[in-house]
Amino acid sequence: MTDTATPRVHSAQNALGDDPRLTDEHRALRAKVREFADHVVAPQAYHYDTQRQLPMAIIAQMGQLGLFGLPFPAEYGGTGKDYLSLCIAVEELARVDQSIAVTLEAGIGLGVMPIFRYGTEEQRARWLPDLTAGRALAGFGLTEADAGSDAGATQTVAREDGDDWVIDGTKQFITNSGTPITSLVTITAVTGERQRSDGSMTKELTSFIVPTGTPGFTVMPGYDKIGWHTSDTHPLVLRGVRVPKQNLLGERGRGYANFLKILDEGRVAFAALCTGAAQGCLEQAADYARTRVVFGRPIGDNQHIAFLLARMQARVHTARLAYYDAALKMAAGMPFKTEASIAKLVGSETAIANAHDASQIMGGYGFLNQNAVGRHYRDSKILEVGEGTTEVQLMIIARSLGFDQ
């Protein structure tokens, strides 16, 4: 089966080639990933969506293109590009398939980054080459049934036993945790208590590397999701999982703080995913408005339709500027936490609004799963939830204004 979507327009995207913030390398990468998205991912997207399985052949091709190694140095198998390069690649993939885009975004931002940022040299040498080559994937085990936005409510515990840590608990909604090439999941667990400056006690959270195949580590069946059908997402159960002490990731007691920093970075690439989804809806709807003839003229000649498309373009432009700003500040070593939340907030709202307007413009065709717009309409809801809900982003932005929420 193939996607029934009409050919995509390139005018809005081609204008990006003149953006002064993009280098020649950025432009070449955008063109390469766009071609791959249009000619390899898009024709198969509907088929794999109906199969509800991650297309491992496509993931392997992404690895061969160097996409999983974009923001990492060559010594770990990466290609040494900047974080904006990753965002550009994610945006281009998300135009045609959000599930494939989030596999890359989470695979790098949540899978590789914890080990790259906080791992020992031994841990990096062991795990990163396969992850940056796309030969392996890793999950990020933070969320639990009672610990989502409130990650400090983590119930998973780890206790020392000789030369090992023994971990017990559950995790949920973990992306890339059950694929045929998943090699590990990094998880947070309670390892004791610490005293706050005011004298009160709080949980001490520490992060660990848990290789798949470790006895007691069980990947439960995948979720029956509304969207992102191709993305691999599972609950995890850890019962007496024993890992050596050298699998402690980062400093003991810094697991929560380190994972929050990982989420700040991840939100920038996630915002790029949102922008790509919105761009894909714009391109599909604009093509349809040019070719769909009603009462003797293209529907795009109607001012109402043209204005809807104009608003869609304005939203995409704003969302793209927001994630560019966050990515460039991050690359420059400047504070970017607030900008990342703004980009994620604006991007997710843009994706949902554009999916709604595109499906309205396309009428019945926009309601079909065979059409990318129909899948974007279904998929985009999770963009308000994943990697920090809309309410969490608003809380972070409000705090930057001096309002302690």
Residue 387 is a catalytic residue: yes
Tell me: pLDDT of 375 over 70: yes
Q: Which residue ranges make up each domain of the chain?
A: 11-137, 138-252, 257-400
What are the tens digits of pLDDT across the range 263-322? Answer: 999 999 999 999 999 999 999 999 999 999 999 999 999 999 999 999 999 999 999 999
If you write DSSP's letter for every residue of 48-64 in order, what string do you get? Answer: HHHHTS--HHHHHHHHH
- Cα(99)–Cα(222) distance, integer angstroms: 14
- Cα(319)–Cα(337) distance, integer angstroms: 16
Residue 129 sits at φ, ψ, to 5 deg, of: -55, -45
- Judge contact between 96 and 372, C-beta under 8 A: yes
Q: Please tell me the predicted confidence (pLDDT) of residue 21.
A: 84
Tell me: pLDDT of 246 over 80: yes
Tell me: pLDDT of 7 over 50: no
CB atoms within 10 A of CB 171: 27
Virtual CA dihedral for 168, 174, 180, 186, nearest 10 degrees?
Answer: -60
Instruction: Give the chain's largest Cα–Cα span.
Output: 80
User: What average pLDDT is seen over the chain?
Assistant: 93
CATH superfamily of 138-252: Butyryl-CoA Dehydrogenase, subunit A, domain 2 (2.40.110.10)
Tell me: pLDDT of 5 over 60: no
Residue range 215-242: mean pLDDT, rounded = 97
Same fold, 11-137 and 138-252: no
Tell me: pLDDT of 71 over 70: yes
**Whether domain 11-137 has CATH 1.10.540.10:** yes
CA distances from 156 to 2, 167, 191, 216, 256 (A): 43, 7, 9, 14, 13
- Cα(397)–Cα(392) distance, integer angstroms: 9
Cβ-proximal residues to 100 (8 Å cutoff; 6+ apart), any chain: 41, 45, 55, 58, 62, 93, 230
**Whether domain 257-400 has CATH 3.30.70.1520:** no
DSSP label at residue 95 = H
What are the tens digits of pLDDT across the range 146-157? Answer: 887 776 789 999
- Judge contact between 351 and 337, C-beta under 8 A: no
Tell me: pLDDT of 143 over 80: yes
pTM of the model: 0.93
Helix (H) or strand (E) holding 100: helix 98-106
Catalytic residue among 35, 251, 387, 391: 387
User: Residue 3: which pLDDT band, with cuts at 50, 70 and 90?
Assistant: low
Virtual CA dihedral for 66, 338, 193, 195, nearest 10 degrees?
Answer: 140
Question: Which candidate, 243, 53, 204, 232, places its Cα nearest to that of 140?
Answer: 232
3-state secondary structure (DSSP) of residue 20? coil
Q: Please tell me the predicted confidence (pLDDT) of residue 12.
A: 44
Residue range 7-32: mean pLDDT, rounded = 72
